[in-house]
Amino acid sequence: MERTAVDSVIHLAAKKQVGESTRDPLLYYAHNIDALANVVSAVSSVGVPRVVFSSTAAVYGETAETAVAEESSTTPINPYGRSKLVGEWLLADTARAKGFRAASLRFFNVAGASDAKLADPGVTNLVPIVVEAALNGRPVQIFGDDYPTPDGTCVRDYVHVEDVASAHVAALDHLTGAGDPHRVFNIGGGAGSSVRDVISAVEAASGRQVEARVGPRRDGDPASVVASVARANTEIGWAAHFSLSEIVSSEWAARA
């Protein structure tokens, strides 16, 4: 940072699999907190004035709120979510103490791809799971279809990875002015899509039928979780531009 006169840092690096975090919490605290502390220590010692931190909606835990705002309760239910919330605290406390400005971006369900070379090979979230099912002719498991939602399946907020990228730029631009030492922003589409909506979108993008098998509900799955993005709209001038159809189409094009 001293050699290259760094004036801004965007911290993206993290471990992010919920199940793995439960099996090996020390790994997650080492990567997501200890490593972040090293970066923030360098930032504060050199005097870098701006930091943007990639956080997660997992910090909210099992919320009962349909539209989740930044002021909502943060009660993460797994080591991954807890490690990211502690990371936010670490960044906020140091920003206040050392005089730099920082923003934590809480991503909701990120999906899609801007290029096949940049496609995420992981199959741990719903969109890539359904796309892989369409590619390989496998059924998709739906965990409960009796929720109080329009079609009975869980509703979630999906945001394209390119919109997430633009959110980082908007947050960084925002930090060039005066203001609070640390702000938190939800980064989501601001609209909900059900499990069946995602399956239908993949069928439309792929031209293939996807068999859905309904099973019992999973413990801890709320009926609907959608981001309130009013703060990001107002304070940093950011809004998502990609629809669910465009998110799924880009994922399909990158994987097919």
Hey, which residues are catalytic here?
80
Q: Where are the alpha helices (DSSP H) in the chain?
A: 18-23, 25-29, 35-46, 79-98, 126-136, 161-174, 195-206, 230-235, 244-255
3-state secondary structure at position 168? helix
Cα–chain center distance at 83: 14
Cα distance between residue 221 and residue 144, in whole Å: 10
Put the strands of the sheet holding 101-107 in their side by side order.
9-11, 50-56, 101-107, 182-187
Does residue 56 contact residue 77 with C-beta atoms inside 8 Å?
no
Q: Rounded distance, CA 183 to CA 161, Å?
A: 21
Distance (Å, whole) CA 28 – CA 35: 10
Q: Coil, strand or helix: which one is 83?
A: helix
Q: Is 12 exposed, middle or buried (0-12, 13-18, 19+ CB in 10 A)?
A: exposed
How many Å apart are CA 243 and CA 154, to the nearest integer? 18
